[in-house]
Amino acid sequence: MKVAIAGAGVAGSYCARLLLAEGYEIDLYDLPHPNPCGIAPCAWMTTAGIAPLLAAAGLDYQAYILERFSSVRFEDHEVQAALMTIDKPRLIRDLQSGITVIAGSPDPSRYDRLIDATGTARAFLPPVPQDCLGQCVQVRVQVSPALQSVPMVRYVNGGYAWSFPIGCNLRHIGCISHLTDPASLLQGCHLLEDAIGLPICRCRSLLRVTAPSGALPFVSPDRKIWGVGEAIGCVYPIVGDGIVPAFESVRLLLSHMDDPGAYTAEVMAAFPQMEAERDILLALKAGRLPGPGQLLRAGDLDRLGMRIGTVEIARIITRALACTSQVGDQRP
């Protein structure tokens, strides 16, 4: 089978590597990115779930770790966690080892199968009827060596801002909002005050917050185009982590290459917490506080290594929602 993969980010590069190992004839395509790091978006944080997924691609996740963290600071509340920042550009380069990335877009007529790994662009699958994309702004900055190496999160209107250490006295600082322009929010949350000099790089991006149920179909009606990763909503809508879910969606695709119904069912079943986070966003955009049941469903943070009680979860989420003002009558 001759397969084209459109999009050479983490999802597309991982897919290309695994398909090649399985004996498929593949071509990997990508469009140029203007960012200095050459990728978009430049997310750096991930979870321990990446280890077995990279092992399946013949890679050792420890080779990409920049820093490990045993806690995260939400405003003034420190929570136990098991997180890490990774060298994402290096990881993508290694996933592509031995594969030539073709500049441009594939012609579907030349292939038996086309994998849409184009993220929020969703360039080949049918459009999502009620798509919802959160806005995100990110910068990489130098900071003082004296700054404590702990990830920090601050709540903003309709989202949150973060500051993650990425080694060598560098930090990845950003902000996502589901209600307003995050650039002004990032300026107002004081995280950039730790920066020394001008940002090394900066970019804007979008985040698909539909969860998988809001990004159907995953496979085109003619069964030729199949989606993976963020193209099919495999991103946690509130927390925003998408590297591990992208890899997991690729693994599910390889298990059901000839059964679109089974692939769709498996993806829908694999990420129930994405749906729970989406429910909270729906309440937020409708100007409502989420109910206790919604908070409990979204509070299963095992994948982040967080050990936190239900009361603490409710307190953190409620404080975050309290930062949201005049949410209006927006709908995803």
Report the CATH number at residue 141.
Answer: 3.50.50.60
In a domain? residue 322: no
Q: Is 62 inside a domain boundary?
A: yes
Say whether pLDDT at 282 is over 50. Answer: yes
State the average pLDDT over residues 67-95: 90
How many CA atoms are closer than 13 Å to the CA of 218, on its beta-carbon side? 26
Whole-number Å distance between alpha carbons of 241 and 157: 20
Contact predicate 58/312, CB 8 Å: no
Residue 279: pLDDT band with limits 50, 70, 90: confident
Structural domain contains residue 304: no
Domain of 197, in residue numbers? 2-274
Per the structure, how many domains does the chain have? 1
Please tell me the pTM assigned to this model: 0.90
Amino acid at 198: L
Residue 332 counted as domain residue: no
Q: Is the pLDDT of residue 91 over 50?
A: yes
183: its two tokens? 């650039």
CA–CA distance, 176 with 133 (Å, rounded to integer): 10
Tell whether 182 is covered by a domain.
yes
Strand 159-165 to strand 170-177: parallel, antiparallel, or no bridges (unpaired)? antiparallel
Q: 296 in a domain, yes or no? A: no
Average pLDDT over residues 152-171: 90
With a cut of 80, say whether residue 227 has pLDDT above it: yes
> Is 314 within the bounds of a domain?
no
3-class secondary-structure state, position 302: helix
Tell me, yes or no, whether 313 lies in a domain: no
